Structure 1
Amino acid sequence: MTVSVEITGVNKQFHKHVVLKDIRLTVQKGKIFGMIGPSGCGKTTLIKVIVGMLKPDSGNVIVLDKPVPQFDQLEKIGYMAQSDALYTDLTGFENLKFFAKLYGSPKKQREQQIAYAAEVVQLTDDLKRKVQDYSGGMKRRLSLAIALIQNPEILILDEPTVGIDPALKKTIWKELERLRDEEQKTIFITTHVMDEAEKCDELALMREGKIIAQGMPVELKAQFEADNFDDVFLKAGGHLS
């Protein structure tokens, strides 16, 4: 199997507060890898280390066979942050067009990419509205569309379904599964919603900056003799929030 992300011995602290403790992960190409855990456990910091926004204090991060950060990697990585980074004085369409141009997409391809991404997140009818008039959920959907727009090899999504209604959440997960199955995209996703864990090919459970368990969903439930991931997390030594 080809490895898309390899993390070995990563540690990170801010001042004297340790946020990541000896993180070791391998994410295979064409898989959905889930990082689950309560808010504040270090998931977002790990995401930022993977995309090269933060430098670890120690350890190594290899993404698509190269150590991060590498400028030529950026167009191969679709990144959705936990906090929306949007131009609120522009329309949804203008935001998508800006990011498509930023990634160097040809004009004809750009139009197709915008149409595709907007349709996935069900924003097609709202693209002419300014983002300042969007609801919080609509902004999350636009952020996801931006992550999809350059047809990346790997998607790194930090709690992408927060604030999104159940019906659209189902649609988004269906598209993520299609990207995995048909296009062999690698998807690294963080969440604190335990029912999304079942949809991942492999999981890492995180608590207080440490990985407390890792494996396929069925393996983890068997290992901890649990019927659901709330119980898996609790039995593994975690806590819910």
Structure 2
Amino acid sequence: MVAVDGLSFEVNQGEIFGLVGPDGAGKTTTLRMLAGVLPPDSGSAKVAGFDIVADPEAAKPLISYMPQRFGLYEELTVNENIRFYAEVFGISKQDRINRAPELLKAAGLGPFGDRRAGQLSGGMKQKLGLVCALIHTPKVILLDEPTNGVDPVSRRDFWRLLYDLVGQGVAILTSTAYLDEAERCHRVALLHEGRLLFCDTPAELKKNLQGAVLAVVSAQPERVQQALAGAEGIKTVVLVGDGLHLVVEDAQRRVEELRKRLTDAAAPFDSIEEVTPTVEDLFVAAVEEEKKKEGR
């Protein structure tokens, strides 16, 4: 099975580029190849101006790669972890002393320098991992699902750190299975089973959606979904926090049809209205189209 199939994209300085897709889409494999830890079977790639296929070691001093399970040492304190990674990256003691407080403050970890890493929350561990990955001032940052399993507040803080780095001209390539995070990237590549479906800004991506999106607000979205099964004109259905998003043809006509169908089925709903598409709406529709092409 091919993990990554003919993937091609560019990431610019001062840009957050997102690799977005579910598990098995090829995100981790792509990042490992770009980090120089996994050789590709074919093709070429340049990172920070260096050919990482021909000479993977040349680019490594300019790269920070933060895998899903970053190697923090839980018995070491926050400061000790930073000191360890500074030494690994060949950073002088004085440079570490100058840079570490700034990074800790930006990550909100300033008061926790003497706390063991194992006693930090999941979100704080991820932020500490980023601090360790940044201690040598890289030009390119590769992040593999850095906010996976992190609480919403920590996710917001983590993204604030990324935006600060972008302001310094750093190129950031991050992967995520959270499709809502695609909205925070400057550009996005939507991946499915190792292939590139779309690549553009979130705003431009949404223009590729064939059809309109109707939001059905309901406290019982699963029941609404059952009631709408087989309804004419619905291309895709996406469960969201307070109901469903439906990609439909001829939105004005479908609203009344769907409202009547739900009322007849006694499926509770508060409203049905057309809304602005999300990247998730596009992704689900694109995957469904791919399945139809493949006869699945």
Q: TM-score, normalised by structure 2?
A: 0.70
SS in 1 for 2:6: strand
**Which residue of the partner structure matches residue 43 of structure 2?**
59
Looking at structure 2, the residues matched to 130 and 77 of structure 1 have their Cα atoms a distance apart, in angstroms, of 26
Does the alignment pair 1:201 with 2:181?
Answer: no
| C-alpha contact (below 8 Å) 1:120/1:145 kept by paired residues | no
Question: Aligned ranges for residues 139-150 of structure 1 at < 5 Å?
Answer: 139-150=125-136
| Cα distance per residue 1:189-240 (max 9 Å; x no partner) | 111111111111111001111111111111100111561011010122269x
Change in Cα spacing, 1:25 to 1:57, as seen in structure 2 (3 Å) is same
| Bigger-Rg structure (1/2) | 2
SS in 2 for 1:53: coil
Unaligned runs of 5+ in 1: 1-16
For residue 140 of structure 2, what is the amino acid of its counterpart?
I
Q: Which moved more, 1:107-116 or 1:147-156?
A: 107-116
| C-alpha contact (below 8 Å) 2:123/2:155 kept by paired residues | no
Given candidates 62, 71, 88, the residue that maps to 2:57 is 71
Q: Aligned-residue CA RMSD in angstroms?
A: 1.9
CA displacement at 1:21 relative to structure 2: 0.9
Looking at structure 2, the residues matched to 168 and 238 of structure 1 have their Cα atoms a distance apart, in angstroms, of 33
Q: Which moved more, 1:69-78 or 1:19-28?
A: 69-78
Looking at structure 2, the residues matched to 231 and 199 of structure 1 have their Cα atoms a distance apart, in angstroms, of 16
Does the alignment pair 1:88 with 2:59?
Answer: no
Change in Cα spacing, 1:70 to 1:19, as seen in structure 2 (3 Å) is closer
**Which residue of the partner structure matches residue 12 of structure 2?**
28
**Which residue of the partner structure matches residue 136 of structure 1?**
122
**Which residue of the partner structure matches residue 161 of structure 2?**
175
Change in Cα spacing, 1:238 to 1:89, as seen in structure 2 (3 Å) is farther
**Equivalenced residues, count:** 222
SS in 2 for 1:172: helix
**Which residue of the partner structure matches residue 29 of structure 2?**
45
| Cα distance per residue 1:92-129 (max 9 Å; x no partner) | 21111111122222222201222122223222222212
Q: Which moved more, 1:162-171 or 1:21-30?
A: 162-171
**Which residue of the partner structure matches residue 232 of structure 1?**
282
Looking at structure 1, the residues matched to 120 and 15 of structure 2 have their Cα atoms a distance apart, in angstroms, of 32
**Which residue of the partner structure matches residue 202 of structure 2?**
217
CA displacement at 1:85 relative to structure 2: 1.1
Identity of aligned residues (%): 35
For residue 8 of structure 2, what is the amino acid of its counterpart?
R
Looking at structure 2, the residues matched to 119 and 169 of structure 1 have their Cα atoms a distance apart, in angstroms, of 17
CA displacement at 1:64 relative to structure 2: 1.4
| C-alpha contact (below 8 Å) 1:101/1:110 kept by paired residues | no
SS in 1 for 2:9: strand
Unaligned runs of 5+ in 2: 214-276, 290-296
Deviating 4+ runs (over 6 angstroms)? none
Change in Cα spacing, 1:101 to 1:21, as seen in structure 2 (3 Å) is same
| Cα distance per residue 1:41-61 (max 9 Å; x no partner) | 110111000000100111111
CA displacement at 1:32 relative to structure 2: 1.0
CA displacement at 1:37 relative to structure 2: 0.4
Higher relative contact order (CA 8 A, sep 6+): 1
